[in-house]
Structures are given as C-alpha cells and as structure tokens.
C-alpha cells in the first residue's frame, strides 16, 4: 500500500507513526522540533488521513506497509517513533526487521492487550467511533454543526477537536471523515489487542537496537509491571516518564518529548 506522508528537515532519517484517529497532521509541531536534526517522515497509516482505505486493518499489514514505504524511498536504517497504535506497529516492525531500525522510540504503549482498559473507560473507543459514524454529515453546513452533533455523545471538547481533525470536504462541499470508520469499528478488538506471536514473540528478543519507552505520568497505558514483559522482547529497553501529561504526549508536552527523544538518539 502506498502510504501518504509529509517530509521535513534533513539529516538522519526519522519515521513517525501516529495512533488511532491520528494522522501526519497531528505531529507537525513536534516534527518541526525534530527537523533541525533529522529528515522527518510523517506517515499516515492505512485507513487514516490521506492514505488509502482498505478492508483489512491489522498490525502485520501495517508492518508490511512500512517495509514498502521504506523500500520505495530507499531508506535503510531509520529512527522509528511510534505512538499508541503506531507504537505497536513500530514494535512489530522492529522485531521482524531489526536491521532497518537504528533507534526505536515507543510512546505510551506496551506490547500487551488493551481490550479491558478501553472497555473500562467512561468514553471508550467503541463509543467514539460509533458516535462519529452516527452523524449525518450531509446535514452539516459547518464544522460547528458537526461539533454540536458530536457533543451529544462525546462530551470532552478536547477529544472532539482532536476527532474533527479527521474531517474534509469532498468535491461537492459535503464533509466526510478521512478515517475508514466501518473497518476501524469492525477491527477495534484486534487494534486494542494486537498481541500475538506474529508480532511480539518473547522467544526472539530484539537485541542490538537502542529502545526507549516514553510514558505520560498521568496515563494508564504503561504500568510499572508491564516492564517485565517488555524486557522479554526488548531486553535493553529504557523507560522514562514525562510528568503532568496523559496519553497524547506529543500534543500536551511536545518540547519535553522532543528533548527526551533527541537526548536518547544522540546517546
């Protein structure tokens, strides 16, 4: 699959993979901070942003999409950064293609299942995707109309603003979601799980690659006890915590995240 991407800066190649509902646009601000030292590639994963929609969505396919992306651009070893869903893609890619990764940075996600976490949350991913799907975009004359309709089921304004970054108008002026909602709804359990031997096999630990996990101090996604399993797959992995931030570190604390990544890559 030919993935859409944006490129900034020059230097050592860095590829950034966004999370669920995300796109390359969400990482522009922090990519500008990285672009002083890196040639940054911001990639839209399948069924997101401006990349193609497809009837299948799993980590093995997203891993293979990334291989194709690197090969098409003649990129050998890269600094690979992945957040949330993109972090699982990055981990899966590194385990199967360690020779293509110079440094691996995994942002606020662990190689474990998150099914129970998202089901316990008061506003879980199933609710969000269903709310987006339920809106009749043909009835919306403006983004304000969509925000009003979405607010009936998605109360936090910050979450709505993030979701509405996935809106665009078609040639007829009608709004559309750039996300492939039908497929993401159908594959949500697999996205939240994503733990299988095709991606994360402790029998074949990844060595020889510097690995850093970065978590938000207010986020529940990486717990201290998760490091036991992380160590089995990435024995040399380090962990840092950025305080006073949740799951979306790149939006809440971009300078702190950029500083941590640059210091890690520079050694």
The ranges assigned to domains in the chain are 5-113+194-266, 118-186
Mean pLDDT taken over the chain: 93
Q: How far apart are CA 127 and CA 113, in angstroms?
A: 19
150-191, pLDDT tens digit by residue? Answer: 999 999 898 899 999 999 999 889 999 999 999 999 999 999
Adjacent-strand bridge partners of 81:
16, 105
Tell me if residue 48 is catalytic. no
pLDDT tens-place string over residues 216-257: 999 999 999 999 999 999 999 999 999 999 999 998 999 999
Instruction: Write the CATH number of the domain with boundaries 5-113+194-266.
Output: 3.40.50.1820
> Is 247 marked active-site?
yes
What pLDDT score was predicted for residue 121? 63
pLDDT at residue 135, rounded to an integer:
94
> Which residues does 201 contact at the CB level (< 8 Å), separation at least 6?
95, 233
Each residue of 123-140: pLDDT tens digit?
Answer: 588 899 999 999 999 999
User: pTM for the complete prediction?
Assistant: 0.95
User: Is residue 119 over pLDDT 90?
Assistant: no
Q: Which of 48, 83, 125, 247 is the catalytic position?
A: 247
Considering 23, 24, 51, 84, which one is annotated as catalytic?
84
pLDDT digits (tens, 9 = 90+) for 67-118: 999 999 999 999 999 999 999 999 999 999 999 999 999 999 999 999 887 7
């Amino acid at each position: 699959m030919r993935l859409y991407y944006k490129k900034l800066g020059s230097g050592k190649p860095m590829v950034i993979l966004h999370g669920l509902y995300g796109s390359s646009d969400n990482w522009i601000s922090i990519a500008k901070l990285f672009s002083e030292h890196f040639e940054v590639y911001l990639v839209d994963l399948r069924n997101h942003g401006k990349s193609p929609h497809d009837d299948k969505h799993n980590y093995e396919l997203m891993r293979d999409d990334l291989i194709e992306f690197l090969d098409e651009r003649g990129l050998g070893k890269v600094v690979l950064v992945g957040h949330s869903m993109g972090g699982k893609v990055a981990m899966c890619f590194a385990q199967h293609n360690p020779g293509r990764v110079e440094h691996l940075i995994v942002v606020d996600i662990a190689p474990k299942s998150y099914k129970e976490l998202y089901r316990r949350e008061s506003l879980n991913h199933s609710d969000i995707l269903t709310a987006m799907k339920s809106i009749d975009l043909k009835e919306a004359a403006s983004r304000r109309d969509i925000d009003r309709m979405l607010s009936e089921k998605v109360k936090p304004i910050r979450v709505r603003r993030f979701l509405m970054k996935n809106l665009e108008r078609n040639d007829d002026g009608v709004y559309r979601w750039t996300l492939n909602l039908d497929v993401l709804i159908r594959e949500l359990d697999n996205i939240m799980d994503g733990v299988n031997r095709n991606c994360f096999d402790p029998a074949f630990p990844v060595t020889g690659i510097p690995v850093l996990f970065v978590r938000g101090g207010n986020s529940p996604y990486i717990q201290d006890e998760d490091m036991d399993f992380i160590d089995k797959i990435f024995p040399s992995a380090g962990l840092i915590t950025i305080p006073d931030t949740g799951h979306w570190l790149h939006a809440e604390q971009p300078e702190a995240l950029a500083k941590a990544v640059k210091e890690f890559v520079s050694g």
